[in-house]
Amino acid sequence: MHQVTSAASLRETEKSVPKPSSSYSRPVTKTIESLRVVGGAALAGEVSVLGAKNAALKLMVATLLAPGTHQLTNVPRNLDVEIMCDVLRHVGADCERDGTDLEVTVPESPLPEAPLELVRQMRASILILGTLLARTGEARVALPGGDDFGSRPIDLHLNGLEAMGAVLDLRHGVLRATAPDGLHGADIYLDFPSVGATENILLAAVLAEGTTTIGNAAREPELTDLADYLRAMGAKIDGAGTSTVEVHGVPALEPSRHRVVPDRLEAGTYAAAAAMTAGQVTVRDCRPEHLRMELTKLEAAGATVARGPDWFSVTGPERPEPIDFATLPFPGFHTDMHPQMVSVLSIAGGTSIATENVYAARFRYIGELNRMGAEIVTDGQHIIVKGVDDLSGCEVDGCDIRGAAALCIAGMRAEGVTTIVGAHHIDRGYDGFVEKITALGADIQRV
């Protein structure tokens, strides 16, 4: 066996090792459906959002840190959550759902591995690595998949775990981690405020011996939500939501109950749809402060936005104004709202420039928007959007979760019929998207 003693050598080994399929046998199928959108309707009415997918997945992984029954509420019913339930079942946990309530019962001795067939579909599953390492002293996890946004290395995850005493090994595309002397606290500084790396280190640190400090930590609301749940389980965490997080390891945690933070991306998608269609939509059960930059940019584009403690409303302009924006870690403009905003700007009365600073290859949807008549070109990480008078419906490929949502938004404004192939992408990230957007007046259906 080739022993890997550093993250750098691990990555070199990974390039040359074949990756056979896992022995895990349960098939996971994707719904082969398309969405048919007829343009022309201005959205109007009220819509409520559920818990954030990107928070729920991390909370589900966190349950593995303590044996017993955990209760999560406000959990969205989407495909990624179902895949994570299958991951937990493989580890030995039991998942029972009742509407938006999810009960996870964790065994005393979870299986320290996650299967390739499931991990390759969802990047959040890499968090199993730090969690199982902390709980069982070892972990076997296939390299993660998910939406293809170009190179998204896990160097920061691996370097942080190594600093805490983990020994890493790679064989056949599967990461094997052990902690021969147990995990211990460490001072870790991230080169980039990666959400996933901050979460993985946090999950490992709560049961490590001593104190772990994470510098240049991510500040996203979903990470703060994870820290809140871990604290409810008995963890000692200071500074979550700031750039420096301090974790004091404890010997054990216990199950708790937690309500998932509202999904700012679902709320933001409805806001963009209202702006795109010159509609008037009120979004409830949300936290407007989590969309501060996105709503501010919609206002700059000509939309009227009103805000309350747990709601906001957007009234879209007849035609958006051109604006510039750049994606950045929270509290900056969220990369997962970039495609929806570019869709809105595709019909603006002038030229806009968007800069993608998080996922450099997140541009597959642009060619599909151009098929609908948009005039968008890229220059490095910059996107130049020359607003056109009208879009026209056609068949397009919903290449990822937010790209598919952006194409749906474009189809609501376009002349004629737009068919978005790959409805399963919407199903991965949204609970009841078609039903909710239809209730607002859109003409959209599955075919």
CA 192 – CA 213 distance, rounded (Å): 15
CA 103 – CA 95 distance, rounded (Å): 6
Measured in residues, the chain has a length of: 447
Q: Report DSSP state, residue 287.
A: -
pLDDT of residue 144: 61
Of the pLDDT bands very low, low, confident and very high (cuts 50, 70, 90), residue 274 is very high
**CA-derived radius of gyration, the chain:** 22
Outline where 206-307 has alpha helix (H).
221-232, 264-276, 292-300
Q: Which CATH superfamily is domain 35-47+262-446 in?
A: Enolpyruvate transferase domain (3.65.10.10)
Strand segments (E) across 285-413? 304-307, 311-315, 324-326, 351-355, 375-379, 382-386, 395-397
Please, what is the average pLDDT of the chain?
90
Tell me whether domains 35-47+262-446 and 50-259 share a fold. Answer: yes
pLDDT digits (tens, 9 = 90+) for 396-433: 999 899 999 999 999 999 999 999 998 889 998 999 99
Give the up-direction half-sphere exposure of residue 367: CA atoms within 13 A in the CB hemisphere: 7
Average pLDDT for residues 23-29, to the nearest whole number?
37
Q: Higher confidence at residue 2 or residue 144? A: 144
The Cα-based distances of 225 to 146, 232, 259, 314 in angstroms read 22, 11, 9, 26
Q: Examine the pLDDT at 1 and tell me if it is beyond 70.
A: no
pLDDT digits (tens, 9 = 90+) for 281-306: 999 999 999 999 999 999 999 999 99
Average pLDDT for residues 18-43, to the nearest whole number?
63
Active site includes 147? yes
Domain ranges across the chain:
35-47+262-446, 50-259
Neighbours of 184 (CB within 10 A): 16
Q: Higher confidence at residue 146 or residue 182? A: 182
Q: In what order do the strands lie in the sheet with 187-189?
A: 187-189, 211-215, 244-248, 236-238
Q: Higher confidence at residue 182 or residue 22? A: 182
Q: Which of 147, 228, 336, 397 is catalytic?
A: 147
Q: What percent of the chain has pLDDT over 70?
A: 89
Bridge partners, residue 306, by sequence = 313
**φ, ψ (nearest 5 deg) of residue 400:** -160, 180
Average pLDDT for residues 197-201, to the nearest whole number?
96
Q: Does domain 50-259 have CATH number 1.10.510.10?
A: no
Average pLDDT for residues 300-314, to the nearest whole number?
98
Query: Helix and strand tally (H, E) in the chain?
Result: 15, 24
Could you tell me the two tokens for 225? 């939500």
Bridge partners, residue 246, by sequence = 213, 238
CA 59 – CA 326 distance, rounded (Å): 29
pTM above the 0.85 mark?
yes
CA 395 vs. chain centroid, Å, equals 26
pLDDT digits (tens, 9 = 90+) for 354-394: 999 998 778 999 999 999 999 999 999 999 999 999 999 99
pLDDT digits (tens, 9 = 90+) for 107-132: 999 999 887 777 766 666 788 999 99
pLDDT of residue 238: 98
